[in-house]
Amino acid sequence: MRIGLLGIGHLAGFLVQGAQGAGHEFVLSPRNAERADDLARRFGCQVADSNQAVVDACEMVLVCLPAAQGLEILRGLSFRPGQALCSAMAGVPVNALRAAVAPAEVTVAMMPGHANAYAAGLTLLHPPHPRWAAFFAACGPVHELVTPRDFETAAVFGAMSGASFAFMQRLIDWYQTEGLDPTTARRLVAETLRGNAEVLLLSTDPLETIAAGVATPGGITEQLLTDLAERDALLAWSHAMSRVLRRMAPTRADKNTL
258 pLDDT band, cuts 50/70/90, is very low
Show Cβ contacts of residue 114 under 8 Å, excluding neighbours closer than 6 positions. 10, 14, 121
Residue 257 lies in a domain: no
253 pLDDT band, cuts 50/70/90, is low
Are residues 184 and 117 part of one domain? no
Of 105, 136, 154, the residue that ends a domain is 154
Residue 256 lies in a domain: no
Of 136, 154, 172, the residue that ends a domain is 154
Are residues 167 and 221 part of one domain? yes
pLDDT at 255 (0 to 100): 59
Are residues 120 and 105 part of one domain? yes
Are residues 83 and 16 part of one domain? yes
Are residues 38 and 134 part of one domain? yes
What integer best gives the mean pLDDT of the chain?
A: 94
Q: Please write the tens of the pLDDT for every residue from 144-186.
A: 999 999 999 999 999 999 999 999 999 999 999 999 999 999 9
Q: Please write the tens of the pLDDT for every residue from 27-47.
A: 999 988 899 999 999 999 999
Are residues 182 and 147 part of one domain? no
Are residues 129 and 24 part of one domain? yes
Domain coverage including residue 236: 157-248
Distances in Å between the Cα of 133 and the Cα atoms of 60, 129, 143, 166, 194 are 12, 6, 8, 30, 25
Backbone angles phi, psi at 2, to 5 degrees: -100, 120
Are residues 148 and 55 part of one domain? yes
Strands 105-110 and 123-126: antiparallel
Q: Is the pLDDT of residue 252 over 70?
A: yes
Residue 41 lies in a domain: yes
Could you tell me the CATH number of the domain that includes residue 120? 3.40.50.720
The continuous run of DSSP H or E covering 75 comes out as helix 67-75
Residue 47 lies in a domain: yes
Distances in Å between the Cα of 171 and the Cα atoms of 163, 196, 228, 235 are 13, 15, 14, 18
pLDDT at 254 (0 to 100): 59
Q: Please write the tens of the pLDDT for every residue from 80-114.
A: 999 999 999 988 989 999 999 999 999 999 999 99
pLDDT at 257 (0 to 100): 43
Contact 88/111 with Cβ under 8 angstroms? yes
pLDDT at 31 (0 to 100): 81
Are residues 236 and 163 part of one domain? yes
